[in-house]
Amino acid sequence: MPRVAYVNGRYVQHISATVHIEDRGFQFADGVYEVVSIRKQRLIDLEMHLDRLNRSLLELQVPWPTSRRVFRFILKEVIQRNRVANGSVYIQITRGVANRDFAYSKNLKPSIIIYTRKTRQDTLETANVGYKVISKPDIRWKRCDIKTVSLLPAVMAKQAAVEAGAVEAWLVNKQGMVTEGTSSNAWIVTLNDELITRHVDNEILSGVTRNSVLKLAQKLNLVFVERAFSLNEAIHAKEAFCTSSTALVKPVIEIDNKKIGKGKVGPITKILIENYLSYMDTHHEAY
């Protein structure tokens, strides 16, 4: 069965899906996106993703291409047509098509793209594998709180990580503080068993999985603090991990070739992995 994508009002074969050459998302990265995880035929934290998408659109002054109700219907239709039980759905909305000019008309029709990807379902065994990360300077713009498709600095850092045999790059600002990963939020556990992740500001994206993990930490009575931490503090932490809709809770056992803690997945990380997988299986709407 061929893959199906939704592009500007039409369900088309994924292999032949196209956008206009003067779409502002293609020419100016003038658009936003979301990635929603699918597990056991459930959309994970869909409403939080749509709320964040709404915020990103408002910040760029791009109108919704449909009502939210219709949008939800299209989203689920794409998933069902592709028969995705486990994986993710990608959503991209751009300002639309116009003659190439930095300035834009306020009455452009937004472009919308939705497609899916199948992946294997994470288990406790696969999720408890430790990974390596490297650090790279954070050279991104000053509005990282908007989930835009302008991702070149993150692409460059991620490629550097892959070439170094790592799974992710943690970005470090001029003050030596870790902001986030190229496609994930960064976390550490201190020697006093405090769970630390950076506070939300314009330097990071407010991750949906990040927010869900914070709620789980509170439910589990774990001590956590939302604050900045330095690369040096991360290297000397007891545990480390990162979170995202696709990575879920991913343990980090090495940063810049230096072992974190004992160089193994730590107990607090394991607790959060177990509880987050359970949360995904029991708290989300089926489609």
Instruction: List, in order, residues 6 or more apart from 209 with CB less than 8 Å away.
Output: 45, 185, 243, 244, 245, 247, 248, 249, 276
Taking the C-alpha atoms of residue 46 and residue 112, their distance in angstroms, rounded to an integer, is: 17
* Residue 147 annotated in active site: yes
Neighbours of 162 (CB within 10 A): 13
Taking the C-alpha atoms of residue 181 and residue 134, their distance in angstroms, rounded to an integer, is: 10
In contact, 244 and 37? CB cutoff 8 Å: no
DSSP conformation letters of 121-133: PP-HHHHT--EEE
Q: Which is the catalytic residue, given 147, 238, 250, 270?
A: 147
Nearest to 188 by CA among 253, 234, 255: 234
Nearest to 112 by CA among 205, 213, 11: 11
- Return the beta strands (E) in 8-62 as ranges: 10-13, 31-39, 42-43
Taking the C-alpha atoms of residue 23 and residue 33, their distance in angstroms, rounded to an integer, is: 15
| Largest CA-CA distance found in the chain, in angstroms, rounded | 57
CA 17 to chain centre: 23
- Residues designated as active site: 147
